[in-house]
Amino acid sequence: MVKQVASRRALSRSFTHSSRNSSSPLAPWTSPSPPTMGQDPSFVPEWDPSSDPGHVYLDAAAIFRNAQQDKGAAHQLIGYGKKSKVTALKVKDEVWQRRAYELAFNALKYQEMLEDIMINSSFYSSKLVPDEQMSLVAVMLYDLQDRNFLQRERPANRDMPEEVAQVRDVENCLLRFKTKLAAALARCRIEHNLLSIDCMLPESVRLSQERGSNLPIHTWINTLRTSRQEVCEVLKSAGFSRVNSVAQLKGRTFCEDLHCLDLLVFPTGAKQELDKTNLLKDRKLVIQDKACCMGPWALHPWLGPDGDVMMAGSFSAATVAHTAAIIHSTHTHTHDIPHTGKEAFSGMRVLVCVGECSSVQREELQEVLGSMGCSNVKLLPEALHTLDVCDTRLQKVQLILLTPQCSLSAVSNPVEYLLQENGDKELLQDLSQGAVSQSRLHTLVSEQKRDLRHALGFPKVRVVVYSICSLLPEENEDVVRSVLTLAEQDNSKLQPFTLSPPSFPLCNKDEGNEVVEKANFFRLQTSDQSNGCFLAVLTRQVCSRHHAHISTSLHTPCETRINQILSKHFHI
C-alpha cells in the first residue's frame, strides 16, 4: 500500500496564509462545502480581516470529528462525541475554508500524538471540556503546539457569538495547561528521539509532504478566451522569460509542458506576479494540477469531425472547461484537414454527468462554465452508471472521459486536490495516515469497474479514456484488464474494445521527466515536478470495410495532421 500525505500548512503565526495556498484557486463544484463554484476558478480571494478565525476552529473541529477513526470502545482513549455530516462550513471566506480543512487534516495526521499529550498531561482526565468539544481541543492543541504554545492575537473589544465564545473557553483551558502540555510533548519527543514532530511520519510521507509544498504552478491557456500568442506577449511585457525545462524555473520564468501543448509551467512562488498580469482574473490562464489536464489531452488525437464527448467521475469545472477548450482549439486550428471542417467541430458538445449535484450546484457549474467562455457544454442530471446506453440524448457520444474517485495515492497535496477537484472528503482519514484502507480501496475499485464497464456499453462510443491519480495497480491496470475480460465474456454483438497507447504530441521531447509507459498504459509518476496519474485509452475494434475507412481517415492521417498543426500552433 502506498503511503502519502499532504504538505503541512498549519494555521499558525496569527493565521497568515502561505504563497503556495494562494496558488490554489479551483473550487470544487459538487462539494457540500465551499469554496463555491460561482467564483473565478483561477482566483483565490484575500481573507477578510474582519472575520473571526474562531469559526475556522469550529469548522476544523467538525471535519476532524467526522473524519477521525473510531477505534472501538476497548481502544478509544478519547471520546469525541457523535459524528454528524458536515454539509456547510460556518466561515464563508474561501481562504478560511481552506484553512479549516488543512487544520483538520494536520490534526488527523498527528491524532495519536495529540491524544497522548492530552492524556499524559492529565488534561483529558481533568474533565475541563466535555467529550462533545474534544475535537475542538484536538485541532486547537495542534495549532497551539505549532505556535510553540504562544497565545495567538485576538480581536479586542468585540462581542462574540456564543459558539465562538466556546472557542475562547477551550483556548483558555489549553493555555492554563500549556506548561503540562508542552512537557508532555517534550517527553514524547525525547522518548522517540525526535528532532521535530514531523520525524514521527514515515520517510515516504515526509517526502510527499515536502513535494506537496513545492510543486510548480501549472496553467492551461483558455483558448476560448485568448490565444497562446496573446498570453506569451502579456507574459513578456510583464517581465517573464521562457526557459527550456522545469528544472530551470526561477523568478519570472515559465516553460512549456512536455505532454500537454496548452500547459505553461511557472515557479512555485509565481502566483503573485501572475496576478499582476490579469491573465488569471480574465480567465485566459487557468491554474490546475497537471494530473487533471492529462485526461482531456488524451482525448484530442481521437476527436473526429462529429460526435460528442461525455465526461463522468470526479472533476472540477476547470476540467470541463479545459475539455471544451481543447475541442475548440482542435476545430479552430485544423480547418485545413479533410473532413474536419468548422461546421462539424462547432457541433461537438461536452456532455457532463452531474447526477450527484444539487440543482444549486448545477446552476453554479453552468455559471462558471459560461464565464469561462464555454458554449458547447450540456449537463446531464444523471450519474453515468444510471444512464441507459440507448438514451436518445447520447446517440452522438463517441468519446468518454472517465475520471472516477480514487485513492489519490499519486497526489502529494491531497487536501488541496480534494478541494479543487471535487474529491471524496471521506478520504481525509485514510490520506492522513498515508494509506487507504482495504475496505475503502475495495469500494473504490468496485465503483471504478462499474463505471468503466458501463462506459464500454454505449454502442456508438469508439474511445474511452480512463484517468485517475493513483499509484495502486488495483485501481489502474487491474481495473482496466478486469473490465476488458468481463466485456469479452458478455457475448455482446458490439465490437470489443482494445487498449491503445495514449498519445501526447511532445512525448518525444521528454527528457528526465518521471514518466513510465508500459505496454498500452501511460503513467506519470509522482515527483517534485507534478502529481502523478494513470491513463488508459480503450478503443473499439472495427472490422467492416466501411468502419475501417472511417477509422483510418479519422485516427491515422488526421491524428498525425492534428498533432503537426497543434504542435506548430502551440510552439513558443
Contact (Cβ atoms closer than 8 angstroms) between residue 320 and residue 421: no
Q: Cell 497551539 sits at which residue?
A: 144
Which of 146, 268, 271 minimizes the C-alpha distance to 215? 268
Given the residues 292, 353, 406, 469, select the one marked as catalytic: 469
Q: Which helix (H) or strand (E) is 360 found in, with range?
A: helix 359-371
Q: Which amino acid is at 43?
A: F
Contact (Cβ atoms closer than 8 angstroms) between residue 90 and residue 55: yes
The answer to whether 162 is annotated as binding is: no
Angstrom distance (rounded) from CA 503 to CA 555: 11
Q: Which amino acid is at 286?
A: V
Parallel, antiparallel or unpaired: strands 533-540 and 463-468: antiparallel
Q: What is the CA radius of gyration of the chain?
A: 25
Record the cell numbers describing residue 222, joined without a space: 483558455
Q: What's the Cα-to-Cα distance from 238 to each of 266, 274, 275, 325, rounded to whole Å? A: 14, 9, 11, 25
Contact (Cβ atoms closer than 8 angstroms) between residue 399 and residue 461: yes
Angstrom distance (rounded) from CA 451 to CA 470: 17
Helices and strands in the chain, H and E counts = 21, 14
Q: What's the Cα-to-Cα distance from 458 to each of 261, 390, 504, rounded to whole Å? A: 30, 7, 26
For residue 469, indicate whether it is catalytic: yes
Catalytic residues: 469
Residues within the annotated binding site for S-adenosyl-L-methionine?
Answer: 356
Known binding-site positions: 356
